[in-house]
Amino acid sequence: MYWVCENCGETVQQDKQPDECWLCGCEMVEADECDGCGEVTFTGRLFGGYCEDCLRESINELTAERYLSERGFLVQFLCNYAWDVADISGGNERFKALCLNEFVNNYRTYHNQVEQFIMDDDGDDGKADYGKWYAKYRSQSRARREKENADG
Ligand SMILES: [Zn+2]
Ligand SMILES: [Zn+2]
């Protein structure tokens, strides 16, 4: 188990919670390793096992499109950020397909807003939602790769 000092950020690995940080004497609380970069940080600052930096870096055309589509946020994103119109997320399938097309074709234009929409607009709840999705996405890609290797 990992522990991190609330004051200075020092980390230690041991089974039992340390009485105090050996450097500054402050309390040490539960910490964990980020599944992406391996950095040890407060357990509460990991989302789906990933730190905020890793999650921000993971947002690209592919993951953003998958995440927003699968979680049903794509229409809402375009309405809020690109078109500045009221939420019409009840739109039909044809409209959703048009939105997807718009998003994929103009991803570069939207990249910064996408990160804000996913990581900042809903605070830690948004980060947790994306982190959970991303962890699942990663494990699925891994499983697919392993199967391909086994088959090939
Ligand atoms: Zn300390
Ligand atoms: Zn990380």
Give 108 Cα–ligand 1 centroid separation in angstroms. 42
Report how far ligand 2's centroid is from the alpha carbon of 4 (Å). 16
Q: Is the dihedral angle over the CA atoms 68, 69, 73, 76 positive or is it negative?
A: positive
Predicted TM-score (pTM) above 0.75: yes
Distances (CA, A) of 60 to 33, 47, 55, 112: 23, 18, 10, 10
Q: Which ligand is nearest to the CA of 56?
A: 2
**How many A from CA of 24 to the centre of ligand 1?**
4
Kindly report, residue by residue over 37-72, the tens digit of the pLDDT.
999 999 999 999 999 999 999 999 999 999 999 999
- Ligand number with the minimum distance to the CA of 57: 2
Instruction: Kindly report, residue by residue over 92-127, the tens digit of the pLDDT.
Output: 788 888 889 999 999 999 989 999 999 999 999 999
